Structure 1
Amino acid sequence: MFAELEGVARTQLGLYPSLPGPELAAAAREAAGVLDLVAADVRVERTWTADGLDGEELSWSVGFGPRTRAYLLKPAGANGPLPGVVALHCHAGMKWAGKEKIADGPEGPSPEVRRLREEIYGGRAFAGELARRGFAVLAHDVFVWGSRRFPLDVPDGPLSEADRYDRAAREHEHVVAKHCAALGTSFTGVVAGEDLAAAAYLRSRPDVSVVGCAGLSGGGLRAALLGAFDPGIRAVVIAAMMSCFRDMLGGHVEKHTWMLWPPGLPRLGDYPDLAAARAPRPLMVQYAMRDELFPEDGMRRAHTIIGDRYAQAPEAYAAVFADVPHSFDVPMQERAFDWLGEHLKG
Structure 2
Amino acid sequence: MTRRDLRGLEGLDALLGHPFSAPAEAVDPATLRSRLRDELGVPPAPAAIRVVEDGSWTRDGVDGVALRWSAGFGADVEGWLLRPAGERRALPGILALHCHGGMKFHGKEKIADGPVSPRFAANDGRVAAFRGDAYDGVAVANVFARAGYAVLAHDAFGWGGRRQRIADMPERVRRAAERDPASGSSDESERYDAHAGAAEDAVAKTLGVLGTSWGGIIAQGDLVAARILAERAAPGGVVAVGHSGGGARAGLLSALADDAVRGAGVVSMMSTIDAVLDGYVHTHTWALMTPGLGRVGEWPDIVAARAPRPLFVGYATGDRLFPLEGMRAADARIRARYRVAGAPDAYRAHWADAPHSFRAPAQHAFLDWASELFAS
Partner of residue 32 from structure 1, selected from 26, 32, 40: 40
- State the Cα distance separating 1:37 from its structure 2 match: 1.7
Partner SS, residue 308 of structure 1:
helix
1:57 aligns with 2:84: no
Kindly provide the CA deviation profile for residues 38-68 of structure 1, in whole angstroms up to 9, marking residues without a partner as x: 3722100001112111100000001111111
In structure 2, the residue matched to 1:116 is 130
Superposed, 1:92-107 pairs within 5 Å as 92-107=101-116
In structure 2, the residue matched to 1:274 is 302
In structure 2, the residue matched to 1:70 is 79
1:340 aligns with 2:344: no
Superposed, 1:144-293 pairs within 5 Å as 144-153=158-167, 157-205=184-232, 208-232=235-259, 233-293=261-321
Cα distance between partner residues in 1 of 2:56 and 2:87? 14
The size of the alignment, in residue pairs, is: 346
- State the Cα distance separating 1:159 from its structure 2 match: 4.5
Cα distance between partner residues in 2 of 1:87 and 1:79? 20
In structure 2, the residue matched to 1:21 is 29
1:8 maps to a residue whose letter is L
- State the Cα distance separating 1:238 from its structure 2 match: 0.6
Relative to structure 1, the CA distance from residue 314 to residue 65 in structure 2 (aligned partners, 3 Å threshold; closer, same or farther) is same
Kindly provide the CA deviation profile for residues 117-163 of structure 1, in whole angstroms up to 9, marking residues without a partner as x: 00110000010000011100000001000000000147762451101
Would you say the 8 A contact 1:211–1:344 is kept in 2? no
Per the normalisation by structure 2, the TM-score is 0.89
In structure 2, the residue matched to 1:10 is 14
Kindly provide the CA deviation profile for residues 173-222 of structure 1, in whole angstroms up to 9, marking residues without a partner as x: 00110001000111111011110011111111255422111000000000
Segment of structure 1 superposing worse, 199-208 or 175-184: 199-208
- State the Cα distance separating 1:265 from its structure 2 match: 2.2
Per the normalisation by structure 1, the TM-score is 0.96
In structure 1, the residue matched to 2:353 is 323
Would you say the 8 A contact 2:93–2:233 is kept in 1? no
Would you say the 8 A contact 2:57–2:63 is kept in 1? yes
1:134 aligns with 2:180: no
In structure 1, the residue matched to 2:171 is none
Cα distance between partner residues in 2 of 1:113 and 1:316? 35
**Ranges in structure 1 where 5+ consecutive residues have no aligned partner:** none
Cα distance between partner residues in 2 of 1:210 and 1:271? 25
Cα distance between partner residues in 2 of 1:195 and 1:45? 20
- State the Cα distance separating 1:241 from its structure 2 match: 0.2
Deviating above 3 A after TM superposition, structure 1's stretches of 4 or more consecutive aligned residues are 153-156
2:251 maps to a residue whose letter is A
Partner of residue 305 from structure 1, selected from 324, 327, 333: 333
1:226 maps to a residue whose letter is L
The percentage of counterpart residues that share the same residue type is 45
